[in-house]
Structure 1
Amino acid sequence: MEHGKQVELIHRVLEHLRAGTTHMVEDESRLPVAPYLQPERFEAERRLFRKLPLLVGHVSQLAEPGDYCTHNATGTPLLLCRTASGELTCFLNVCRHRGTRLVPEEQGRRKQAFVCPYHGWTYDSTGRLRAVPDEAGFPSRPSESVGLVRVPVAERLGLLWVTLEPGGPDVDTFLAPVAAELAGFGLDKHVAYQPSRIEKKLNWKIAIEIFLEAYHLKYAHRESIYPLFFNNVGLVDPLRPHIRAIFPKRSIESLAGTPEQGWELRKHANILFQLFPNVLILVQPDHVSVSTAFPMGPDVTEYRTLTLIPELPATEKAARYWQKNIEILLGAVQEDMAMGESIQSGLRSGANEFVRLGRFEQGLRYFRDELEARLGGRS
């Protein structure tokens, strides 16, 4: 993020603190409850996902030739790998013989080939079928004409993006509103550390929305992270189709009256980018957390987190430091997800036809407006 933008955002925060206010829109609003519950709505959202660039990993997970990782949360089994020549490739993780999952494990390195565990059909990292046991039984000679099915994949900002179906925006167009700000954090120079994955009983939209406001900090995180932050103070700006949110820490007040050239926003605030539809990038003082919420059912979500750190820990002290940071983050996430599961249960009860949003919960409104526009073909 350019220094001038950081200074602008810090001034906005300091003005709110002086005035005892927070960033708000003119009116409160309501969101209908039905889209959190309906199976047909879930299917429509999954179809939308298939036409948008989806984040499935970080470049450090495929750093060397032979590195590979799998990803299943899109609803389509994927196999990403780095070829001997250094090319990034992505395929459907499906054997072309009888559809077996070709690679069952999540990550690894194979110098030679991927061998189907069912009948031994063998593929290289370019997707070429290299060997078929007893191929005489296949007069069509599949080894000469059959390969793994390719999926479009791109590496941008150090992150790995796939698009499952044509018809949506290209990756560069999609990321353009946030690319310059994110590029300044050097995500491509980081390494992914201790990825985590949890499955929760809540709609995927709730898993995004619980991070888009500061209204809950004092109550949901009273004993964990709230002492670092202010009560219900933040900035939430649309960078359509994405959102940037700033959650200032109490230390930001120390910048008032000091030279602006020394101001650094990430040292005094959590900077959150919500990349539509399902990505949360949380910039912290010395690392970045990248999370995704994938819909698995109307009320089931897989939530993944990658912690991006400057380099892998070389000492036990460094490992303990990063472990502590990850525990703090995941502890807060678990507190949020507990609230999210409670929300999902409450919405199923029929008590509310709408959820009510305060003027300072505008991030939820921006997110849902974008989703509704795309589902309605208006974006």
Structure 2
Amino acid sequence: MYRDHPDRIRALVQEDRVHRDLYVSDELFALEQEFFANTWAYLGHASQIPQAGDYLTQDIAGRPLLMVRQADGGIRVLYNRCAHKGSQLVSDASGNTGKFFRCPYHAWTYKLDGAPLAVPVRSGYEGTNLKNCESGQGLSPVRGMAVYRDFVFVRLSDEGPSFEDYFGEALRAIDNLVDRSPQGRLTLAGGAMRNIIHCNWKMYLENINDTVHPMSTHESATRAADALWEGRAETEPKPMAMEQILPFGAGYEFFDQMGGRVLPHGHSVLGTRFSIHSNYARLDGYEEAMRAAHGEERANEVLTRSPQNSVLFPSLSVKSSPQAIRVIRPLAANRTLVEAYAFRAEGAPELLFERSLSYNRLVFSPMSVVAHDDVHLFESMQKGLRAGGNEWVSLHRDHRPGEAESGAQDVNGTNERLMRNQFHAWADFMTSRMGGGA
């Protein structure tokens, strides 16, 4: 129905609504594997592989990948398949391979950079064409790889925009995160919080830019927090959990006025003026260390800018304060893996890291007082979209017919253009390598 028919795919994304097939179609999900190959996807963080031989495995666009630290300190990304028969070289999520990789099937070995090292029964290959065949060249590298301030991204397609052209201004979100360390260095710590949700990945991603739902979806959590804090003076220091939960009930006007910024290729920043993270308590000595490290102007710029969410489309959501990221890993049309990570900012007070861990537990854990509300509704929506009747999902809020919605633009914080932007980018990359359509 959709393969090799770009016009049919583009018709699913209209100016102010999208068709439910974007969420429920198994065929579209299969085609999305090429979509993810055409874009730049987040793979991992350099701090996850600190020593030579350390590796991290991950599947992106249905391809098993291997990120490995080299002996010279560099990073390579290889396809995790032996050049001989295709067996995955390593099956653990992470580990250390030593000085070489050894295939568990026939013991072919490779250097850390993927170059062939040795094969058993070598005499049997004498006079053959192995050296001139792809199998004799070693492990296949991922040619589209970029490391930006220790964040590792890949583009699996040989064609497509360069890393800088693709992300552009959106990379400032990573700068704002990394520069919260006086040393300009982050370490991913505390492990990963993983949650499989029975919903489409785009449903989760658009919710990251949805500021209208907290007042109703999370009403029980904010009411409980308000009741516990009732009668306290405004100046009284809040426990960390209260500091992080209470702003969720700030009201529609607060979220509308926080502002947002729409960027090309589906990227966005929510909370350009302020956010629920803007009024966290100051930490003793931290601001002074930041000014000493970055200078007065840059330190103030970093510390006063705390966006609610920055989306590096299609797979990464960044919270510069409280220094956390979410990675969206699509598994099926109705199944998504969400990984939440916390960072330790080197040279910063340990309380800053504790704040990151606390936020992830309170907001992203499926057992938290916040995330279970979202998970319930995502799964309810996924089922509801299969109902008869209306086949469309509304994205009308703040849409003005005939008004141009392209390029970078500042918008109000409740504007659904932040979501429309994601879907238009989806349609562009889904059809970018198809023909003229029919």
Cα deviation, 1:294-319, whole Å, max 9, x if unaligned, reads 3222212222222222149998x898
User: Tell me, what secondary structure is at the counterpart of 1:326?
Assistant: helix
Kindly provide the amino acid, as one letter, of the partner of residue 197 in structure 2. Answer: K
Shift in Å at residue 253 of structure 1? 12
Q: Does 1:115 align with 2:102?
A: yes
Do the aligned residues in 2 keep the contact of 1:92 with 1:148 (CA within 8 Å)? yes
Q: Does 1:324 align with 2:358?
A: yes
Cα deviation, 1:321-359, whole Å, max 9, x if unaligned, reads 654333123234443233211111111223531122333
Distance 1:169-1:319 versus aligned 2 partners, 3 A rule: closer
User: Tell me, what secondary structure is at the counterpart of 2:117?
Assistant: strand
Shift in Å at residue 114 of structure 1? 1.5
Do the aligned residues in 2 keep the contact of 1:217 with 1:226 (CA within 8 Å)? no
Do the aligned residues in 2 keep the contact of 1:129 with 1:143 (CA within 8 Å)? no
Matches within 5 A, 1:122-161: 122-139=109-126, 140=128, 145-152=136-143, 153-161=145-153
Equivalent position to 1:291, from 308, 326, 339: 326
Matches within 5 A, 1:157-306: 157-186=149-178, 189-193=185-189, 194-222=191-219, 223=221, 227-229=246-248, 230-232=250-252, 233=255, 234-241=258-265, 242-246=267-271, 248-249=275-276, 269-284=306-321, 287-306=322-341
Q: Does 1:59 align with 2:46?
A: yes
User: Tell me, what secondary structure is at the counterpart of 1:173?
Assistant: helix
User: Tell me, what secondary structure is at the counterpart of 1:105?
Assistant: coil
Cα deviation, 1:104-144, whole Å, max 9, x if unaligned, reads 11112233221112222222201122222233343438589
In 2, Cα distance between the equivalents of 1:177 and 1:270? 14
TM-score (norm 1): 0.80
User: Tell me, what secondary structure is at the counterpart of 1:277?
Assistant: coil
Q: Does 1:345 align with 2:399?
A: no
Do the aligned residues in 2 keep the contact of 1:46 with 1:295 (CA within 8 Å)? no
2:34 corresponds in structure 1 to 47
User: Tell me, what secondary structure is at the counterpart of 1:248?
Assistant: coil
In 1, Cα distance between the equivalents of 2:176 and 2:422? 24
In 2, Cα distance between the equivalents of 1:132 and 1:250? 55
User: Mean alpha-carbon deviation: is it higher for 74-83 or for 244-253?
Assistant: 244-253
Do the aligned residues in 2 keep the contact of 1:73 with 1:302 (CA within 8 Å)? no
In 2, Cα distance between the equivalents of 1:160 and 1:219? 37
Matches within 5 A, 1:66-77: 66-77=53-64
User: Tell me, what secondary structure is at the counterpart of 1:292?
Assistant: strand
In 2, Cα distance between the equivalents of 1:347 and 1:102? 40
Q: Which runs of 5+ in 2 are unaligned?
A: 1-14, 223-243, 282-296, 399-413, 434-438
Do the aligned residues in 1 keep the contact of 2:20 with 2:393 (CA within 8 Å)? yes
Distance 1:79-1:327 versus aligned 2 partners, 3 A rule: same
Kindly provide the amino acid, as one letter, of the partner of residue 138 in structure 2. Answer: G
1:86 corresponds in structure 2 to 73
User: Tell me, what secondary structure is at the counterpart of 1:185?
Assistant: helix
Q: Does 1:36 align with 2:61?
A: no
User: Mean alpha-carbon deviation: is it higher for 293-302 or for 89-98?
Assistant: 293-302
Q: Which runs of 5+ in 1 are unaligned?
A: 1-27, 255-260
Shift in Å at residue 268 of structure 1? 8.1
In 2, Cα distance between the equivalents of 1:340 and 1:110? 39
In 1, Cα distance between the equivalents of 2:47 and 2:122? 38
Shift in Å at residue 267 of structure 1? 6.4
Shift in Å at residue 366 of structure 1? 1.7
Shift in Å at residue 212 of structure 1? 0.7
Do the aligned residues in 2 keep the contact of 1:74 with 1:294 (CA within 8 Å)? no
Shift in Å at residue 218 of structure 1? 1.5
Cα deviation, 1:354-375, whole Å, max 9, x if unaligned, reads 1223333332112112222333
Q: Does 1:309 align with 2:309?
A: no
TM-score (norm 2): 0.70
Do the aligned residues in 1 keep the contact of 2:310 with 2:317 (CA within 8 Å)? yes
Shift in Å at residue 270 of structure 1? 4.3
Do the aligned residues in 1 keep the contact of 2:277 with 2:307 (CA within 8 Å)? no
Do the aligned residues in 2 keep the contact of 1:244 with 1:273 (CA within 8 Å)? yes
In 2, Cα distance between the equivalents of 1:227 and 1:44? 41
Shift in Å at residue 197 of structure 1? 2.8
Once superposed, what is the RMSD of the aligned Cα atoms? 3.3
Distance 1:182-1:323 versus aligned 2 partners, 3 A rule: closer
Kindly provide the amino acid, as one letter, of the partner of residue 37 in structure 2. Answer: R
In 2, Cα distance between the equivalents of 1:307 and 1:142? 46
